[in-house]
Chains A and B, each alone.
Chain A
């Protein structure tokens, strides 16, 4: 038996694989072999044939950012003509609309805006919580690290203040690739790997659940992808605070990194290896925002058990030229067509509405 076959056997028997084994799989295994292994793992960890989704809205409270990441098509430097900070009126309308569409949470994220203080964030959270029964999934680690630094508070104190004001969970954004050598090239002003992990660890210790993401397909090599997964897995062994992992591909349009967009096969391979390697994270989310509805559906047999958000609004990826939209009914149709039951979930992956009766006969 050659090395690859041994690793395949090991993965198939549900044993934990190490970094070098994961790298071999990522580089050498056949696409359908990866699918088979990832699907097995998915069935082991999530035996119910259910695919979940969440109805929420992504609200970007400001696009002003001093970080200037090379891959970002969304931000504006302070003073730019298109720069904005959301008004309460607009925020209110967006949340009202989200709730009226059956939404249960908002994902609120923004740039690293030097004119906003901790008080702004606390006020923002309180305003939302005082007015709406909605879960707030907000502020990725770079924002939290930035707020803490600006207010000269510890991460722990900052996070606790945000929790007191109504923060419900933290999105795993801003991770990109958790390897400093790559971050120095793509996002030199953003928080370091250690800071990112420290925010997550602190949040988990303060009782907040978070997701983790990975954006690949820019300057990284396969080894860096595996290193990223390793850091996430190690932290998860420690805290158990990650609810889900969401890999997605860099969208190069309108950015300053000129590369070929990662292809769907590359995406599916990384997705499958993520499912295999992150044996301690319950959920893997497919990224239809970056992959489109077709590849998102295929992702359901490459380890994904969640289709993420119906995304009423998505500015960051849309600014990079991607315009995939997937309304709830369409999401349900894709899930059922793939042979799964569809269910709407909350932020903690609890099922809140199981969907019946929307089954469409395809081809009969």
Chain B
């Protein structure tokens, strides 16, 4: 690398990155604190290129949110409702079927299925949900239920986590989205999501999922009340579990959107912070294959720039994104395949349409 770092503390990190040495906690903090955005980008881009060259991935996917009724009511959530609230909803299996049929002529490769913790849905509902999706879309991958939901489903079914996973897998579950960990800090949890499972439980469930042969993503929700130390801790915890299981596929930094939440006084994340989170993920998570620039949250314009700051995946075309848009996101609700490919190629990268497991389509 021939970049001259404006922030001299990056020189040492540069040496580690070039020699493949794992970065430590202090390195993570130094990277977050650095104003040398291009320098941080260079480092991440170096690693990204070694792994993926000029390739940039995306998936043709569809989001399906089956209920927004949730027992947890996390403070940062604009999506959830109490049972009986006027825009609360829970899709019946027939509703789910017709949602899928609306788009049946599109080449959807992956269904991203998540919902709230709705106590009126039975264990059988989840099984039927998966069965129905498999029946309507036998060739698409079902990526469903965060670890938080898996914990809830196990309780509803009166089963152990292992038994629950086995049942869900039998019904068609193939992959787990990375949500629900937010930022793994008891301090933040107490303030923002006290009813949600804690980080130990989240990690435990992820480990069980990986042991059962399912892969998953991992995320971090940033830009609320978390500290830099908490962010770096979070990344290191994910890295440790990944060392153990190897079951994580991609990491997705999630920029917090405060509108319509009980934290609406918080300003939105800045581009510097968004790009640093992408770059930090690429640099700290040396055992993760993929880092996503999630365009729904940071906007398609910044996500495109993110491809030069460590990201190798723009996530999906997504049809009808709900969760972030209910929190005021101004990004589009979906991108066409042509728009996605244009974003990638006009940034100087080669678009690769992938399946859920990063196999190339076509």
Contacts and interface: CB of A to CB of B under 8 A. Distances in A.
B255 to A, nearest CB: 10
A265 B342 CA distance: 11
Contacts of A337: 270, 272-273
B334 interface: no
A240 B304 CA distance: 36
Interface string A28-64: 0011100110010000000000000000000000000
B275 interface: yes
B302 interface: yes
Interface in B258-292: 267, 269-275
B267 A265 contact: no
Interface string A210-243: 0000000000000000000000000000000000
B271 A298 contact: yes
Contacts of B348: 30-31, 265
A266 B32 CA distance: 27
Interface stretch (B37-45, B86-94, B200-208): B37-45
Interface stretch (A71-79, A161-169, A201-209, A289-297): A289-297
Nearest to A8: B2
A96 interface: no
Contacts of B4: 36
B227 interface: yes
B54 to A, nearest CB: 10
Nearest to A40: B4
Interface string B229-253: 0010000000000000000000000
A295 B270 contact: no
Contact of A330 (B42, B267, B271): B267
Interface stretch (A128-136, A180-188, A356-364): A356-364
B105 interface: no
A339 interface: yes
Given A268-B305, A364-B227, A294 B274 contact: yes
Given A294-B298, A338-B35, A264 B305 contact: yes
A297 B299 CA distance: 14
A345 B247 CA distance: 53
B50 interface: no
Interface string A258-275: 001001111010000000
B249 to A, nearest CB: 26
Interface residues of B, number: 36
A295 B301 contact: yes
B38 A301 contact: yes
B222 interface: yes
A39 B38 contact: yes
Contacts, number: 93
A298 B35 CA distance: 12
Contact of A334 (B41, B270, B342): B270
A261 to B, nearest CB: 10
Nearest to B308: A31
A263 B38 contact: no
A333 interface: yes
B347 A31 contact: yes
B18 to A, nearest CB: 16
B299 A292 contact: yes
Contact of A362 (B273, B342, B343): B273
A160 to B, nearest CB: 43
A262 to B, nearest CB: 8
A295 B302 contact: yes
B159 interface: no
Interface string B1-27: 001101000000000000000000000
A31 B348 CA distance: 8
Given A292-B299, A295-B305, A338 B227 contact: no
A363 B228 CA distance: 6
A362 B231 CA distance: 12
Contacts of B45: 32
Contacts of B227: 363-364
B222 A363 contact: yes
A30 B227 CA distance: 33
B194 interface: no
Contacts of B274: 294
B3 A36 contact: yes
B305 A298 contact: yes
A294 B301 contact: yes
A264 B301 contact: yes
A364 B228 contact: yes
A259 to B, nearest CB: 11
Given A36-B3, A263-B301, A363-B231, A297 B308 contact: no
B346 interface: yes
A330 B269 CA distance: 11
Contacts of B231: 363
Contact of A32 (B42, B226, B270): B42
B38 A264 contact: no
Contacts of A293: 271
B298 A263 contact: no
A294 B38 contact: no
A39 B270 CA distance: 19
B37 A338 contact: yes
Contact of B347 (A263, A301, A330, A339): A263
Nearest to A336: B270
Given A264-B302, A301-B37, A338 B270 contact: yes
A93 B269 CA distance: 35
A329 to B, nearest CB: 9
Nearest to B34: A339
Interface in B203-225: 222-223
B304 A35 contact: no
Contacts of A30: 308, 348
A31 B275 CA distance: 14
Contacts of B37: 298, 301, 338
Contacts of A39: 6, 38
Nearest to A268: B305
B305 A265 contact: yes
Given A260-B342, A294-B274, A295-B305, 7 more contacts: A36-B4, A263-B342, A265-B305, A301-B37, A333-B270, A363-B32, A363-B228
16 contacts: A31-B347, A32-B42, A35-B38, A35-B41, A36-B4, A39-B6, A39-B38, A260-B342, A264-B302, A291-B301, A293-B271, A294-B270, A295-B271, A334-B270, A362-B273, A364-B227
Listed from nearest, the 8 A-B pairs whose CB atoms lie closest are A339-B35, A294-B271, A264-B301, A265-B347, A297-B271, A294-B302, A31-B308, A337-B270
